[in-house]
Amino acid sequence: MTHPTADLSAGMAPELTMEQFRHIAAMLRDRTGIVLADGAQKFVVARLAKRLRRLGHRGFDVYLSLVTSPAGAGEFDLMIDALTTNTTRFFREPGHFDFLASRVLPRLIRKAREGGRVRFWSAACSSGEEPYSLAATILEAFPDAALYDVRILATDINREMLCRAEAGLYDIQAGRDLTPALRAALFDPSEDEGQAAIRPELRALITFRYMNFMEPWPVTGPFDVIFCRNAAIYMDTATQQKLWADFERVLDAEGTLFIGHSERIGSSLSHRLELVAPTAYRRPMTRIAPTSLAV
């Protein structure tokens, strides 16, 4: 058994007791709504061992004392970053983008050309692949979108991922499974030291912001399109249902909400969000409200 005060520099993982794990799990749930299964101790150790090494801590007892102290607020945020999952890729779940292009964008293009305000929200944008895919889809159908009041808000709880997203630089192998046409729609033709840069026209449409679903929302909508995919699967049922209801409240009267293919909106919200395509929903009620976060 590895002793909690083992030398981490030697590559030995620190021991995480069940009590310590439950403490971390409770903090993560309270801060983000994310629920860790009882068998996730190895995941927590793997994600946090690097932080302990960097700080010179030999065990989780000292680390927990830090993150629960006023002086450890910054490290608490870094702990949350380390424990949040950020699996994503360009044009993930492509059926959503096909539905957006064929069934949603034609109306929104007309709305924009008639002087209307059009807003998209990538609510759990991770390292940016989703909002950039969204921007590429918009510009393919609406090349002069930048001349109109069309914007994308991209938010996430992980500050490190947001920095990566805003930089718009990806490994040259990013999107290698895409068609040449989709790669051309996303990336600037020039390559720099093995990196692929997002086209400036796409970046110009997007505003990146930090946001935690569990805190008061800095947005009130209305949004014409909301993408929140594969974020709620890590939450308990009650938190999921509250999240869907919160999205419904900021959705335009004719807006569309896209969720992950493994996620479901419960029957308690079926009168407020109607299924119109696989994991795509629309709100039948009419409610218009101003936005409090300029995008």
Q: How far apart are the first and last CA of the chain?
A: 53
Q: How far is CA 93 from CA 90, 122, 230, 235, in A?
A: 9, 14, 11, 20
How many residues can be counted in the chain? 295
One-letter amino acid identity for 70? Answer: P
DSSP string, 223-259: EEEEEE-SSGGGB-HHHHHHHHHHHHHTEEEEEEEEE
Binding residue positions: 86, 88, 92, 130, 156, 229-230
Question: Contact, 130 vs 227, CB < 8 A?
Answer: yes
Q: How far is CA 114 from CA 117, 120, 292, in A?
A: 9, 18, 23
Burial of 51 (0-12, 13-18, 19+ CB in 10 A): middle
Binding residue positions for S-adenosyl-L-methionine: 86, 88, 92, 130, 156, 229-230
E-state strands within the chain: 118-122, 150-156, 169-171, 187-192, 195-198, 206-210, 223-228, 251-259, 274-277, 280-282
Q: What would the two tokens of residue 252 be?
A: 């335009």
CA distance 93 to 230: 11
CA distance 64 to 192: 41
* Whether 156 is catalytic: yes
CA distance 136 to 99: 14
* Whether 192 is catalytic: no
Q: Among 29, 47, 117, 249, which one carries the catalytic annotation?
A: 47
Q: What would the two tokens of residue 127 be?
A: 């390292």
Q: Among 81, 119, 156, 224, which one carries the catalytic annotation?
A: 156
Q: Which residues are known catalytic residues?
A: 47, 156
